[in-house]
Amino acid sequence: MKMTRRAFCAGLAAVPLARPAQAQDMALLTAKAATVQLAPGGYPATPVWSYDWTIPGPVIRAAQGSRLERRLMNTLEVPTSVHWHGIRIDNAMDGVAGLTQNAVPPGESFDYAFKLPDAGTYWYHAHTNSMEQVARGLSGALIIEEATPPDVDRDEVLMIDDWLIDPDTGLFIDNFAAPMLRSHGGQIGNLVGVNGRYDYRLSARQNERLRVRLINSANARIFGLKLEGLTGWKVALDGMPLDTPEPVTDTLVLAPAQRMDLIVDVIAAEGETAGLLFAAADDTWRVLADVSVDGRAASVPRGAPQPLPRNPRMEVVGVDAAPVLEMPLQGGAMRGLESATFNGQRLGWQELVEKGQYWALAGQAGLGDTPLATLSRGETARIRTTNDTIFPHAMHLHGMHFRVRRADGRLGPLRDTVLVMPNETTEIAFVADNPGKWLLHCHMLGHAASGMTNWIMVT
């Protein structure tokens, strides 16, 4: 008898299974409490919230144009959801609790299944009480591969993070709602690391060519980065290829949630130092990822790399004629707010502070019933953010990438998160080609949780 798939499944159902039968239909991503050694040996291990037991979660790789399917199993004691940061995704799969789905209660699951239109470096993270859940470890890299990958010897994902840990107990310092942090620059960790390790190291050979995918998954830290013993080109930002690879000449700045793909050549010889350095608070350069050079891959370095293949729909057209929406960024320590709308009420600064709201986007603190803007599908939109606060903000739009429109009208690279410095005005322009409810928020997660979150509607 030829066994059909149906018969096979029916046959299996008769025997007791260790896992629920449905679990075979879809790969799992389990949100799970775990204990991980984040601090150096000799310090206690840290209880974390993980995806599949590791910090960061597993690197998920999929082919451009394919569908990604994951069943989120929530075994935590708190509700959660997963956001697939930077994917131009079907709105129902965007993972924003309270806007695109209900948070998944403890013990329950949610099926994420969506198409992957773009190749590039993305990431996934919790989007329910993100300030705490991402800080406790709920994030991972999401790599969408080009049909024809660039000519490199290796592909390395470096997920850069910081953790705020009590060295005596190993516990995360539970100050996630602390007004002092939320109203200032956000939660900055006391331990910095890559891929869950404070002492991340790679080995490489001289003249080897690596694709390095940098992801900043920190809650609030803006990383200043520098290459040592390596030379390279920027080839993509926030997943999207640059038209021309740009040689890395000075400090690279990576704000929370931003990604940067580099193609680097190892120029250091065997025994010389190489790696990725970060600017510490005391203005010294410290090692973030150490590259030990063993042997030689080729006798001569290679020439400049080709640009990565373009993704679809990268053009932003009709920008000059598009209407401009003003979105001042306001509030925070030292400046405060005269008033803002919160839960449908106009409140003064003191009342906002009592409700834990320190920030506003265009006069609105937190999500309101009505969007900041309603756009019709296909329309080009411009949003002008003027930073009236004394802090930098990493502004992120869900569902669509944008280009920064410079003062002279020229457009910058396509990306999904832009760093807006104090007293700076940054205008973003995008084609509203993805229908649904899309969040627009600061990715300093403490800011997002205390006012800096709004949404737009595309109909």
Give the residues lining the site for Cu ion (CB under 5 A).
393, 442, 444, 447
Assign 181 to helix, strand or coil. Answer: helix
**Distance in angstroms (rounded) separating the CA atoms of residues 162 and 60:** 21
Pick from 332, 361, 372, 366: nearest CA to 349: 332
Q: What is the contact surface with ligand C2O in residues (CB under 6 A)?
A: 83, 85, 125, 127, 257, 396, 398, 439, 441, 443
Closest CA to 38 of 124, 135, 174: 135
Question: In the complex, what is the shortest distance from the CB of residue 374 to ligand C2O, in angstroms, rounded to a whole number?
Answer: 20
382 binds, among ligand C2O, Cu ion, none (CB under 5 to 8 A by kind): none
Q: How far is the CB of 85 from ligand C2O (least distance, A)?
A: 4
Structure tokens at 117: 């239109």
> What are the b/e assignments for 198-231, b being 16+ CB within 10 Å?
bebebebebbbbbbbbbbbbbbbbbbbbbbbbbe
> In angstroms, what is the minimal distance from the CB of 396 to ligand C2O?
5
CB of 95 to ligand C2O, least distance (A): 9
Residue nearest to ligand C2O (CB): 85
Nearer to ligand C2O, 83 or 415 (CB): 83
Nearer to ligand C2O, 125 or 393 (CB): 125
For residue 178, the minimal CB distance to Cu ion (Å) is 15
* Residue 253 C-beta: closest distance to Cu ion, Å: 15
What are the Cα distances from residue 165, in Å, to 23, 45, 452? 35, 10, 26
Q: Which does 32 bind (CB under 5 to 8 A by kind): Cu ion, ligand C2O, none?
A: none
Q: Using alpha carbons, list the distances in angstroms from residue 317 to 320, 391, 418, 432.
A: 9, 32, 20, 11
Query: Given the complex with ligand C2O, which of 419 and 439 has the nearer CB atom?
Result: 439
Give the whole-angstrom CA distance, residue 329 versus residue 335.
Answer: 11
Q: 234 vs 398, which CB is nearer to ligand C2O? A: 398
Q: Which two tokens stand for residue 230?
A: 């390596």
398/415 with CB nearer ligand C2O: 398
Give whichever of 29 and 418 is closer to Cu ion, judged by the CB atom.
418
